[in-house]
Structure 1
Amino acid sequence: MHFDLPSLRLAIEQADKLELSALLTDNLELLDENSLFLLLSELYEQQVVSQWSDEEVLDAVRAFYKKSLQGDFFDHSWGDDGRYDVITPLTQSWYDEAGFWLDVLCSEQQERSRACRLEGLRLLLVLIDQLDEEEILVPHDTLGEENVASRYDYRAYFRQLPQ
């Protein structure tokens, strides 16, 4: 279905906030992970993850790291020709989650210790470096950092952290 986005934006702005909240919460389970990420990642970061302890954040980053190395994000639905000409939803979910945790660890709004930032960023950079070396965690023709969306220059931020 094609939505007239300007009209939809206006309708959302004018809608009753309680009705919108009920509509959203009643239908959360109908959204796939990528849609949830696009729609609610900023809210999740600001309202949920910001309340987590450093250890909870590191546990989540470690779980992402482990899932990545176990191949949980490797999309086995590719054709036999070996061509990866689109980023699949599973592949996109890896890039989204990597970017999300990079943003959390680099954000000054997130009150994180130096040790938490250092360890979390180190794990994420190990994964990203493996992409650049074509040790495939997620298949795609243009493997690498250019597909990771982050609000920060996370490599420069990591270098500036006191080791």
Structure 2
Amino acid sequence: MNDKEVKKGVNKPEPIFLRDTPEEFRAWISTFFSDAIISVMEFGMTVGLELTRHLSIVNGAGLAGVTALYSATELPDRHALLSSAGWFLAGLALAILTFLIMYWVGSYTGKQLTKVVSEWVGNVRPFDPERVRLLRFISLPTWGIGLMSFGCFLVGAIKVICALKIQL
């Protein structure tokens, strides 16, 4: 049986229920998956917090550096420093947005996984891998926004370098 036959419904495998398993095994499976889901959610929240922390530190340091340079130097074009401050502020805003979306994604993923496992263990629905397959792509926007925050830092840093190069 190949993948094309399964997708067309030919020789489709039987749905996986836990009806014939002992209650102790179902309780163990439920506990195992609950612990695994909690671990995945904690890992996601920790990664989101660390990502936000580092992006905030980098962009905040860039903003602090720009304000210090703006007040301490007499550049012919001080507006170039102000434009880089805007990039650092945008990076800070995107870092906060990254954390909020990471929190929502972690919560949503945990709820969906818990629902799928509890329905499967409780013999309400058969286990269907399609219900959880899309969950692996849900965090991609979060990483994209995090990369945009880092990109804002890089653009701001390049603008500061260019503004200081004019003076030298």
Normalising by structure 1, we get a TM-score of 0.30
Structure having the higher helix fraction is 2
Normalising by structure 2, we get a TM-score of 0.30
Q: Which has the higher contact order (CA 8 A, sep 6+)?
A: 2
